[in-house]
Structure formats: C-alpha cells, structure tokens
Amino acid sequence: MAQIQQEHPTVFIVDDDASIRFAMQALMDSVNIKHEIFSSGDEFLESVEDHRPGCLVLDIRMPGLGGLELQEELVKRGNMLPIIFITGHGDVPMAVEAMQKGAVDFIQKPFRDQDLLDRVRDALMTDKERREENERHTEVEKRLARLTNREREVFDLVVTGKPNKVIAYELGVSQRTVEIHRARVMEKMQARSLADLVKMHMTA
C-alpha cells in the first residue's frame, strides 16, 4: 500500500494531433500534473509496459492502432488504467461502446481546459481507489490462506450471523470447539468485530 501512495500518478496522453498534444502538455505543466505524451497507440504500448498508477487520455480515432483497439489490448494485458476518451463530432456511439467496455469518461472536442482537468482528477481518484481495493483484496486472500479447512468453514458460517450453537450443530462439533475456532479466525483475519469479518468476506 505504501508503495502505491508514494508513487505519483502519471497522466498518459495519446493523440496523433501534434497541436492537441502540445496544448495538453502545456495544460498539465500549468497545474504540475505528471504526464507523458505519445503520438500513437503503438508508441504507448511499447513505452508503457508496467502498471504504473495514473490514467490514460486517449484519442478515439487515430491512424494505425485506434483508441478502441488500444483499450482492448490493455484489457487483454490486465492493465486497468482508467481511460478518458477524446472524441470528435459523430464519435459519441463509439465513446458509449468504450464506456461499456470499461472506460471511465469521454470528452468532446473542442473542450474547456477545466473540463478536461476535472475528468483527469476524477480518473486519478478512480485509479487510486481501484488500487487500494486490489491491495485490500490481496491482503484478505493472504489472511484466508492461513485458515485451516475447519476454520474456513466456521468463518463462512459466522459471517451469515448464525450463533455458535447453530454452527456447532451444522458442523457436528461442540459449541466450545466452535468458540475456539472462531477466536482463531478472528486472530488470523486480524478482525476486531463480526462486522470486520463480514467486510472481509465480501472483499474476498
């Protein structure tokens, strides 16, 4: 988690129009947002192979690898970078399709600088929240892996709200045995309350 918080997010901008690239670079510089500029989808794929935090501002229509094709390639690679599509007149149906496939927003040309900045900041927050959720999921999975089979059975029944005596009856063990397992589950899952356990079960 700390590593994610320490790394500054990057706005990746992909557009084949040099004037738009220049304008967006100047805009990002003016508000001190870290950014990288690319003239094509292929150039972006060659240069950005890791899963750095940030968002992608992407022209929907480009020669070669178009915006939708780049989006599909990123999905195949498991890269869930939030995408804001830049669209021209008549591109709204394509933008709607892109959002159905996971894009977070689109903005039509010509656009106001502030409108783009608002969308960028929303997308960066979306990326931060997704990464934190993935981190929580990974941590819960690690804790679950420490449970024995019996402890996992007790965990799955406890989070339904069933009392110990009912769990004991269903598992064919004594109530005291359930109490012991329940205490171990709380300890291994690092849960302070039943509500904590329920949240972890939902996360898993």
Residue 13: pLDDT band with limits 50, 70, 90: very high
Q: What is the mean pLDDT of residues 146-172?
A: 96
Residue-range domains of the chain with CATH: 2-135 (3.40.50.2300), 146-203 (1.10.10.10)
| pLDDT above 80 for 4 | no
pTM of the entire predicted model: 0.80
- Cβ contact 56:87 at 8 Å: no
Average per-residue pLDDT for the chain: 92
